[in-house]
Structure 1
Amino acid sequence: MDLFESRNIKPMLIAENVEPFNSHEHIFELKLDGSRCIAYLDKDEVDLRNKRNVKLIPKFPELSNINKQIKKRCILDGELIVMVEGKPNFYELQRRTLMSNKFKIELAYKQHPACFIAYDILYLEDRQITDLPLIERKKLLAKTVKENEQIAISRYIEYNGIDLYKLTELQELEGIVAKLKDSKYYFGKRTHDWVKIKWLLDDDFAVCGYIEKDNNMTSIVLGQYKNDELVYKGHVTLGVRKSDLIKKGKAIESSPFSTIPQGNEEAIWLEPNLVCTVQWMPRQNKGMNQSVFKGFRDDKTPKECIVK
């Protein structure tokens, strides 16, 4: 079946974090703090889908006309972002994805409109082009998209990955991605053709419960799966709102872990059906230093939160 008509693309994945480097064989671009998605665009329609193939335009109606910025029918791989104070804000983005009330969605996009940042093109006019080298796809992408406030093209530089990474540190951005210039696009696969170089680290966790602390603070109990067994992974407190947990979580009587982790005897346990993202500052010693709750996400299931 034609790739445009089937509409079930699994995005190519990015390999785990590496140290900054320079390379004549790579291009380097910013790693944006958003949500990966695929855009199916032609003259009559915009169909934006996340990694779970869920349609996103109902949540982000301000992007319903980005097809007018496309010269030919195409499929784009990119990032959905919401800017707050000049930086991508993952919390505001995920807050929107969880909304269902049309009036609240309208208020949200008037305050913080979303933008689609395209960094690859997979299909053009009437053919799949994933076997072309990345640098050739980038050139076709630039010829196909006319940028405006709702859609833009990810900028990249050649060779100098170390200096670009240092700039992300200065600006407190997530980091960068390095991609081989001649890399093909492999649906749903993770290869070392594309690698992350991150300053701020993050990961996804199943929400397993919460603990009420002093000063009206709430701490989420985190877990990840190993061989289908839920493993305790600590807590996050900064950025957590108790009202969100009560509204979204389903309380259960007993711990979802095989045994109650030490220090969690007073926890209010939740059915582990929510996923959240936690960000922290890297340090030489392991652990989530200065961890911050970034938000819930609906494009990933708890069973996809795996112990690394």
Structure 2
Amino acid sequence: MFIEPMLLATAKTPFSDLHYIFEPKIDGHRLIYSQQKDTVRLYTRNNNDCTRQYPEINGTTNVLFPHDIVLDGEVACVDPATGISDFESVMIRFQAKKADKITGLTATLPSTFVIFDVLQYNGKDLRALRLMERKEILSTIPLPSSSFGIVPFIEGAGEALYTQIKERNMEGIVGKRKDSVYETGRRSDKWRKVINWSYSEVFITGYRKEEFGWLVAVSESHNAKIRPAGIIELGANPTHKKAFYNVVKPLIIGEDRNFVYVEPRIRARVKMRNWTRSGMLRSPVFIEFIV
């Protein structure tokens, strides 16, 4: 059975608070795990069934939990060299659809379900319990195999944890009020994420003709050339957009069906999750123009 996951608000800076626990933010994709009458179903946060993509989690290759259960967590593909989940590997697993491809990836890119909450167990709905009560129940439940883990947490010391996360180049932290019940339908300020952003300066090289999007490029460190680095879709407010379109017309050098291309004369500062293996900005967010 699918249960809509509790969504996080965003905290601008790390914080410490004795009313909160703090967890490392796992760089994977959100997963609702449901085991009912020995049948396992796996769902994304948007209620898309992804059961078949993860044989090591869905009960195909492992034993089950001792009772019916619904869990909230993240699918991770952990790099054995660093101990950190690699998001691109997670996406390769998620996007695999053919049976032979899934079988091969199960061996070469094994996934782990990292659990941070239990929503139902042995016929009882636990969502109205306080978070620390749910955590206590979760700690007593035997895990089916090494493909399952429980996310660790500390109490109060969010800033200290964030410093460690930043030093390891991990995604960020999540702070959760100890007394929070499991809420759905809106983002709750009782669960707050703090992202470990990276920053870059970019050149705007074009824009979409229809919905908003600015093509960007970055300088190669070893020469004066620039190379494509992705597209900005977030962060620019109406004032930024108006300023851009007021000055860009003389810089237009061509167009195609979807984009208008411009000379790389307008620079901007962006924040992003990290760089992809192919050298692209992952989830870039516009901050400001550089003048």
Among candidates 233, 239, 245, match of residue 223 of structure 1: 233
Matched, 1:82 2:92: no
Matching residue within 287, 291, 306 for 2:270? 287
Match of 1:70 in 2: 65
Q: Once the two structures are aligned, what percentage of the paired residues are identical?
A: 25
Residue of 75, 96, 101 corresponding to 1:99: 96
Distance 2:164 2:252 in 1: 40
Residues 216, 232 of structure 2: 8 Å contact kept: no
User: Is the contact made by 1:45 and 1:67 (CA closer than 8 Å) also made in structure 2?
Assistant: no
Equivalent position of 2:125 in the other structure: 128
Q: Does 1:30 align with 2:15?
A: no
- Write the distance in 2 (CA, Å) between the matches of 1:191 and 1:27: 15
Alpha-carbon distance in structure 2 between the residues aligned to 1:264 and 1:69: 60
Residue identity opposite 1:288 in structure 2: K
| 1: CA distance, partners of 2:178 / 2:8 | 15
Taking the aligned partners of 1:58 and 1:267, their CA distance within structure 2 comes to: 42
Q: What is the alpha-carbon distance in structure 2 between the residues aligned to residue 269 and residue 89 of structure 1?
A: 34
Which runs of structure 2 are paired with 1:177-196 in the superposition (5 Å)? 177-196=174-193
- TM-score norm. by structure 2 comes to 0.72
- Asked if 1 retains the 8 angstrom alpha-carbon contact of 2:269 and 2:286, the reply is no
Amino acid at match of 1:72: H
Q: RMSD of aligned C-alpha atoms? A: 3.8
Distance 1:201 1:135 in 2: 32
Unpaired runs of 5+ in structure 2? 200-210, 260-267, 279-283
Q: How does 1:167-186 map to 2 (within 5 A)?
A: 167-186=164-183
Q: 1:110 to 1:170 in 2, by over 3 A?
A: same
What are the Cα deviations for residues 202-236 of structure 1, in whole angstroms up to 9, with x where unaligned?
9xxx9969789998954433435999x9x97xxxx
Letter of the 2:67 counterpart: K
- Size of the aligned set, in residue pairs, is 250
The answer for unaligned runs of 5 or more in structure 1 is 233-257, 272-284, 296-304
Residue matched to 2:150? 153
After superposition, the C-alpha distances for 1:263-295 in whole angstroms (9 at most, x for unaligned) are 675566559xxxxxxxxxxxxx96237962489
Q: Which has the larger radius of gyration?
A: 2
Give 2:116's match in structure 1, choosing from 87, 102, 119. Answer: 119
Name the SS for the 2:23 alignment partner. strand
Provide the TM-score with structure 1 as the length reference. 0.68
